[in-house]
Every structure is written in C-alpha cells, then in structure tokens.
C-alpha cells in the first residue's frame, strides 16, 4: 500500500495519540509489526514551536521512514507554514488533524470541530497541499464520521479533500459528540471507502486480530489504524499481521521478550525526556504493560512511588522475572483476571 509515492511495508498503522505516541513508542510499534506511525499532533502556532513539548514531538532522530507528522490548527496560512516547518525537520508525510475532540484543540475550532465548518476545513486542506506538493510530500487527513448522529458528513468532506489533492483519509468511526464513548461504527467508514479512489484507513476500537479482520471485511478499507489497544501491548501489530496472513492466532509472546521490549522502550524513553520527566511519564507505559497481568495492579501502586529511572528499571526486571517463573509465556488477560480474584 502507498501514501502518494511512499510505499509502506504493511497496512497496520499506529494511531496518533498525544502524550503516548512519541518517537520511542512509535519505534517500538514499528519494530513489533506496525507498518506506519503518525506522530502526536504538533500545533500550527509558531510561538509554541520552540517549546520543549513541541520540539520533543518534532524529534525523529533514528526513526525509520516514513516519518509522518500530524499538524493541528485553524488558520490555513499557519497550517501551511507548520507543514513546511515540519518538512524541514524531516517529515515525509503531513497529516491534518480533523479527528481530535480534545477541548484544548476544539475550543479554537481545530481538530474534529473543523468538520462542522467544511469551507474552512477545505481551505486548510488546500493551503497545506499547496505548501507540500512542490516539496513532493503527500498530505493525509484524519477525521471522525461527523459532528453528531444527525450530521455525519465524513463522505462529503473526504470527497472534497480528495479533490483538493489529499493522498489518504483516515476515519475514526465515532462522531465528535461521542468523544470516546459508545462503540465505533464502520458503516460510515465503508461509505467513505466506496466514495474515494485514494486509500482509506479504518480506525476505532480495533483491539484483536479477529476484530481487525472483521473491520477490514466490513469496510473494505485499505489499512487499519490502532490506538489504545497498542498501549502496553505493542506486539498487537504482529499478532494482527499474522492472523490476516495465515488465519491463525499467534502464540502469546514469551514473558522474557515482553520484559526485553519494555526495558528497551524505557531506555529510549528516558533518553528523550531525561531523568525526572522520563521517570514520571514512563509510569503510564509501565502501568499499561502490567495492568492485565497477575499482580499487575499491586506492582503498579508500588512502581508509582519509585523516584528514579534506575529504580523503575530494576522493579520492572524483577516483576517480569518473577512472572516468567510461573508463566514462561505471557498469560492471557483472562488468566490474570482469574488469578487476581483468587
Ligand atoms: C490519549 C489519546 C490521545 C490522542 N491524541 C490524538 C491526536 O493527537 N491526534 C489525533 O488525530 N487523534 C488522537 N487520538 C485519537 C486516536 O488517534 C484514535 O483515533 C482513537 O483513539 C480511536 O482509535 P482506538 O480505538 O484504536 O484507540 C488520541 C486518542 C487517545 C486515546
């Protein structure tokens, strides 16, 4: 599958998640089977580009190609400038955020709020495509199904964006009003796919190989994007890839391998954020990794009190080494649940 001229190794994508899909996490997911990963959104407001947060988000050091940066904003000229700025710093694909319902973004009419203003949305798409096309960089768009139940305009907006030169559209199967509540629906994604010639990516609630297969069948989408289900379980990409290729389910990973992946991820994470911020922001990743495992909840409480990266690393090593004695292969979440009750 291609995004414009760029060929991807497979059609399993990591969803952009602010505060989660930083460079270390994206690289981990790519090592474990994801074919493509989009960065956390970067604001189009020039005044913030020099901030530590934005410069960390624009850090692609050592990341395998293609490097995709998501930009968010409401002003077409600013968005075009943001696209050029990120291309100068290594972006090979620019993704426009029209999918995020966060208040910080939507209060200024960015993110999914833009879907309610199709004229402005299209002006932004046109300005960004005009900025990127001379540099040979494809532009993609991430959106929801619409503002609310009665206003699902994803097909109209996706068609207009295709007409303006967008190379790929991703649709999260919820409305803006839904936030993350309820269930994702896939009929609108199927309608967008049927209406477009460019690749369409299905997103929302894909959390297992079986669900991935079902969503592909229902939508006929060209690719799948996975977000929350990869938190603490980045090997879900290779599990899905294996199932789509063979129809079989991949055996669970060895507990020792999970320890190794998490340790590698933590080293990379501390390298990007430094000791103090690294130690604090690593807690959520460690928490996700252990939450469904026997003893995971108790471990998480203790781990949250540790005050150095070294202490976190030692605690993680001990937790997984102890777990491996009883479970050489990672226990399924259900086993863990039973053992927590026991
Ligand atoms: C913590 C978090 C942060 C997110 N940040 C972004 C973002 O920066 N840009 C964006 O387009 N979507 C963002 N999303 C939405 C996801 O990309 C995705 O569309 C959504 O989570 C549905 O997919 P999932 O069910 O596989 O998680 C975020 C979601 C979460 C949970």
Question: What is the mean pLDDT of each successive set of 10 residues along the chain, which is 342 residues long?
Answer: 95 95 96 94 77 76 90 92 92 90 56 83 97 98 93 95 98 93 97 98 98 98 98 98 97 97 98 96 97 95 96 98 97 54 31
Q: How far is the CA of 82 from the centre of ligand 1 (A)?
A: 21
Quickly count: other Cβ atoms within 10 Å of residue 303's Cβ: 19
Quickly count: other Cβ atoms within 10 Å of residue 164's Cβ: 19
| Cα dist from 247 to 10, 164, 231, 254, whole Å | 16, 38, 24, 21
* CA dist., res. 74 & res. 36, Å (int): 26
Does ligand 1 come within 6 angstroms of the Cβ of 18?
yes
Give the per-residue pLDDT at 190: 98
Does ligand 1 come within 6 angstroms of the Cβ of 204?
yes
Q: How far is the CA of 314 from the centre of ligand 1 (A)?
A: 31
Ligand 1 atom closest to the CA of 225, numbered from 1: 26
Which helix (H) or strand (E) segment holds residue 201: the answer is strand 200-203
Annotated domain spans of the chain: 2-246, 255-341
Give the per-residue pLDDT at 335: 47
Give the per-residue pLDDT at 196: 98
Give the per-residue pLDDT at 42: 79
Q: Tokens representing 311?
A: 């202490």
Give the per-residue pLDDT at 103: 59
Q: List, in sequence order, every residue forming a beta bridge with 7; answer none if it has no partner.
A: 2
Does ligand 1 come within 6 angstroms of the Cβ of 67?
no
Q: How far is the CA of 294 from the centre of ligand 1 (A)?
A: 28
* CA dist., res. 92 & res. 324, Å (int): 41
Task: Please identify which of the residues 29, 100, 132, 309 carries the catalytic annotation.
Answer: 100
Longest CA–CA separation in the chain, Å: 63
* CA dist., res. 41 & res. 304, Å (int): 27
* CA dist., res. 207 & res. 215, Å (int): 11
Which strands, in side-by-side order, build the sheet including 93-98?
Answer: 36-37, 12-14, 223-226, 200-203, 168-175, 139-146, 93-98, 68-72, 42-43
Give nearest CA residue, ligand 1 atom 21.
227
Q: How far is the CA of 102 from the centre of ligand 1 (A)?
A: 10
Ligand 1 atom closest to the CA of 172, numbered from 1: 19
Q: From 198, 97, 189, 199, select the one nearest 145 (Cα to Cα).
A: 189
Does ligand 1 come within 6 angstroms of the Cβ of 203?
yes
Choice from 12, 17, 41, 53 to test ligand 1 binding pocket (greatest atom count within 8 A of CB): 17
Choice from 100, 169, 182, 211 to test ligand 1 binding pocket (greatest atom count within 8 A of CB): 100
Choice from 16, 112, 234 to test ligand 1 binding pocket (greatest atom count within 8 A of CB): 16
Q: Tokens representing 140?
A: 């993609």
Superfamily of domain 2-246: Aldolase class I (3.20.20.70)
Does ligand 1 come within 6 angstroms of the Cβ of 226?
yes
Q: How far is the CA of 323 from the centre of ligand 1 (A)?
A: 31
Give the per-residue pLDDT at 112: 65
Q: How far is the CA of 232 from the centre of ligand 1 (A)?
A: 15
* Residue 8, SS3 per DSSP: coil
Helix %, strand %, coil % of the chain (to 5): 50, 15, 35
Q: List, in sequence order, every residue forming a beta bridge with 146; answer none if it has no partner.
A: 175
Ligand 1 atom closest to the CA of 111, numbered from 1: 11
Q: List the alpha helices (DSSP H) in the chain.
A: 23-31, 52-57, 76-88, 103-106, 118-132, 154-163, 187-195, 209-219, 236-246, 255-273, 275-290, 296-303, 309-326, 333-341
Cβ(157)–Cβ(192) below 8 Å: no
Cβ(21)–Cβ(38) below 8 Å: yes
Mark residue 91 as left, alpha or beta (left: phi above 0; alpha: psi -120 to 50; beta: remaining): beta
Q: Is 29 considered catalytic here?
A: no
Q: Exposed (0-12), middle (13-18) or buried (19+): which is 7, by Cβ within 10 Å?
A: exposed
């Amino acid at each position: 599958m291609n995004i414009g001229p760029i060929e991807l190794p497979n059609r399993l994508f990591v969803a952009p998640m602010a505060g989660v899909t930083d460079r270390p996490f994206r690289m981990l997911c790519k090592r474990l089977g994801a074919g493509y990963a989009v960065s956390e959104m970067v604001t189009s407001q020039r005044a913030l580009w020099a901030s530590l947060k934005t410069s960390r988000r624009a850090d692609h050091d050592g990341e395998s190609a293609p490097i995709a940066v998501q930009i968010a904003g409401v002003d077409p000229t600013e968005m075009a400038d943001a696209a050029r700025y990120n291309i100068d710093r290594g972006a090979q694909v620019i993704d426009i955020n029209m999918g995020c319902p966060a208040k910080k973004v939507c209060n200024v009419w960015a993110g999914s709020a833009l879907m309610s203003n199709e004229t402005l949305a299209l002006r932004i798409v046109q300005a960004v495509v005009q900025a990127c096309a001379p540099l040979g960089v494809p532009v993609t768009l991430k959106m929801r199904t619409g503002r609310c139940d009665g206003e699902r305009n994803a097909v109209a907006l996706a068609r207009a964006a295709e007409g303006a030169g967008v190379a790929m559209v991703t649709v999260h199967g919820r409305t803006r009003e839904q936030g993350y509540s309820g269930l994702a629906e896939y009929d609108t994604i199927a309608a967008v796919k049927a209406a477009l010639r460019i690749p369409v990516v299905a997103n929302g609630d894909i959390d297992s190989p079986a669900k991935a297969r079902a969503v592909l069948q229902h939508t006929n989408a060209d690719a799948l994007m996975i977000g929350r289900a990869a938190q603490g379980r980045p090997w879900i990409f290779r599990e899905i890839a294996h199932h789509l290729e063979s129809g079989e389910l991949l055996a669970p990973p060895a507990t020792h391998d999970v320890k190794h992946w998490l340790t590698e991820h933590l080293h990379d994470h501390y390298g990007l954020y430094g000791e103090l911020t690294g130690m604090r922001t690593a807690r959520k990743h460690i928490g996700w990794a252990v939450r469904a495992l026997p003893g995971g909840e108790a471990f998480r409480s203790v781990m949250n009190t540790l005050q150095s990266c070294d202490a976190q690393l030692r605690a993680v090593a001990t937790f997984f080494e102890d777990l491996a004695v009883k479970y050489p292969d990672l226990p399924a979440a259900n086993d863990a649940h039973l053992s927590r009750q026991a």
